[in-house]
Structure 1
């Protein structure tokens, strides 16, 4: 038979085990809190008058000789909170920071979550909202809330005050210089291009008047025609045509994207034929010389379009 006393003892035993377990957990919780840092913060008033002094205090306990790091003095609170006094007191076991501040603008302002580093651990405060009201009446005499302070400005302070004016002035000067350079050199470039074209056309007209074509003097004709063309290419396209051999010049022109394919083809045909005439390998007729003269003349006239297209491409 089962002893009835065992059943009476069993519930008491279960209760005893549960109490023992609860006591163990409670001891662990108390020990953990006894050796951990505890941060507390307090704001004296959440509604203050305009310019009224308020107090904000942060305390940290159970430091155990650990160092506390936070924002520098007078820099813990946000912009609208004017710090009047910021004191820090600490020892091996605790840390306390007291800030006296005032706000000189109406409205609602927030003291955000502030971080304090204890050893490798970050502790944070709770946020606070401060409402600032203007209690002055129309008939009240207005006095300065704070005495004027004399502040000695350094070079960097003057720079912060006037840097935008200085940068604006430099920008205007740079713009003026750019306009002057554009007017001077831009016009000069266009004028030099037109001058080279006009001068070359005059030289071609002089060549035409020598009647080399009519007389069949093809060698003198091609020598002077190519010489005039080389000088023109050198001035107009800035290619050293006056010192390059024909093959090298043609290769350089193919690499120069300024010269159009049409003009490049004209120069290549005339220059190659001129070399053949020079070494007596070909004897061109009057029609061929007329065509080569006309092609070179048209090439000189079209060159300005090459330069206009190149300038447009650069601008884009």
Structure 2
């Protein structure tokens, strides 16, 4: 009875080996130096035209193994795969069991442990391949080396010049006599549209008219008209000689009348209010001639 069982087991194993594939694998070296090329070979025999499926080329080994070359060949009966690899870190690294699918069956290799060492010793001399050679640099070579620093320096200098020019001239353009004149004329037009003259609101009319005039004198003539009393402003204009006598007269008449209206000491009629508005408008227009004369006087 025992003999029959043994015979049955032998026949089963013989049949199984006759109709199954055989997978074998080998690694050339288990200890390698940093960057040294090693290889693993996987062979599957007795395929009987079965298709073999595995990871794609250069993707079979894990992360630390840098695959140098992955070659695959297959015939009807034999699958052959040779992978050359290198490792660039010291330590022990494992090639795990690699899976290959043959038909509907999974075959696996045995795992391998690879020991990676640094073959260079601390005291080993380092020899240059060739002697150092002095290289003469041309102007173009210096340009290629330092062009980004030069361009950055030029950009910074250009930015500084632009800021200085803006501070020096940009702000002045906004405060130029023409800009101040046009702005004040627009303010006078807005005052006229409020219909203070037509409605007889003389107090609001003179308050705004004198406020516009004071701001204009302060900006155009650089006099502190916005903080001085009327009498002090008139005295300063006469001593300063920047404003022409005709314009001084207009400012003095309108400002004095405005103060009287403000304290209810006089009640101007419509014609007087219209004349004062027109006189201030003409004064603003003539102001550029005062500045031209002042510039000529300074040049002399």
Fold similarity call, TM over 0.5: no
- Give 1 or 2 for the bigger CA radius of gyration: 2
- TM (norm. structure 1) is 0.41
